[in-house]
């Protein structure tokens, strides 16, 4: 069975500091990995997908199959980045498996 | 486009009562799903549907029922509410070609006393 682990429930960083939100997964096949974000009083929305290798709002994430990780990174945190971040795994059968989430708090 | 809509936004039920959470989407998405969000647990899949007339169970289906008679609507029924079903419920939809790129509704906050 697939599993997604986000080891940090809460991550606090100062504005301008680098951010790394950790995500590890367990799946025997070829995974599709995503980061979803939920800002205060807003809907959960897709932030990044590993297949597009894009940078959104300054965030990037690289799939490391050897370490089964998909960490989310940003070089300089902004106050508007404060939100709940979920790593998610698509592993066939149309089902997304979410991690438990990490709350990012950017301190001014 | 309204996207994914959910009603009601808030609901309080007594133990044993039944109710239906409504979900609709106007994007002609084939795939729809229901999640519950609990503190410290993330989002867990309750039921999902890959098209009208087709539904399947997710990770936590017990106590919930779904049907999909149209592409647009995917209601979630609580058969006999229990305090353990106190949660925030999210509906999501996506295209079959990109099933994991899901669009979420605003959520329904349900309290069972």
pLDDT digits (tens, 9 = 90+) for B10-51: 999 999 999 999 999 999 999 999 999 998 889 999 999 999
CB contact under 8 A, B45 and A86: no
- To the nearest whole Å, the CA of A47 is away from the closest chain B CA by 10
The mean pLDDT of chain B is: 95
What's the pLDDT at B53? 94
Q: What is the mean pLDDT of chain A?
A: 93
- Tell me: pLDDT of A92 over 80: no
Query: CA B101, CA B34: separation in Å to the nearest integer?
Result: 14
User: Are B42 and A94 an interchain contact pair (Cβ–Cβ within 8 Å)?
Assistant: no
B56–chain A nearest CA distance, Å: 10
Question: Confidence band (pLDDT; 50, 70, 90) for B2?
Answer: confident
- pLDDT digits 0-9 by tens, A23-81: 999 998 888 999 999 999 999 999 999 877 788 899 999 899 899 999 999 999 999 99
Q: A54 pairs with which residues across the strands? A: none
pLDDT at A53: 77
Residues of B engaging A, defined by a Cβ cutoff of 8 Å: 31, 33, 35, 40-45, 48, 50, 58, 90, 92, 99-107
CB under 8 Å to B104, separation ≥6 — which residues?
A43, A44, A45, B4, B90, B91, B92
Question: Do A99 and B42 lie within an 8 Å CB cutoff?
Answer: yes
Looking at residue A51, what is its pLDDT?
79
pLDDT (average), residues B103-110: 96
């Amino acid at each position: 069975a697939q599993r997604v682990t986000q080891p940090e429930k809460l991550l606090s960083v100062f504005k301008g500091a680098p951010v790394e939100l950790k995500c590890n997964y367990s799946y025997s096949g070829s995974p599709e990995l995503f980061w979803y974000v939920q800002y205060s009083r807003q809907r959960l929305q897709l932030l990044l997908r590993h297949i597009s290798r894009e940078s959104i709002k300054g965030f990037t994430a690289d799939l490391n199959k050897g370490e089964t990780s998909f960490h989310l990174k940003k070089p300089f945190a902004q106050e508007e980045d404060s939100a709940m971040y979920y790593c998610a795994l698509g592993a066939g059968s149309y089902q997304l498996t979410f991690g438990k989430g990490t709350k990012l708090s950017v301190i001014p | 486009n309204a996207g994914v809509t959910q009603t009601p936004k808030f609901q309080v039920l007594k133990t044993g009562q039944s109710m239906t959470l409504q979900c609709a989407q106007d994007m002609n998405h084939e795939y729809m799903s229901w999640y519950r969000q609990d503190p410290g647990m993330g989002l867990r899949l309750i039921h999902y549907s890959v098209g009208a007339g087709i539904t399947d169970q997710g990770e936590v289906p017990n106590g919930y029922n779904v049907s999909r008679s149209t592409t647009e609507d995917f209601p979630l029924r609580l058969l006999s509410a229990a305090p353990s079903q106190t949660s925030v419920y999210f509906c999501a939809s996506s295209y079959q070609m990109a099933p994991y790129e899901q669009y979420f509704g605003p959520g329904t906050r349900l309290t069972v006393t």
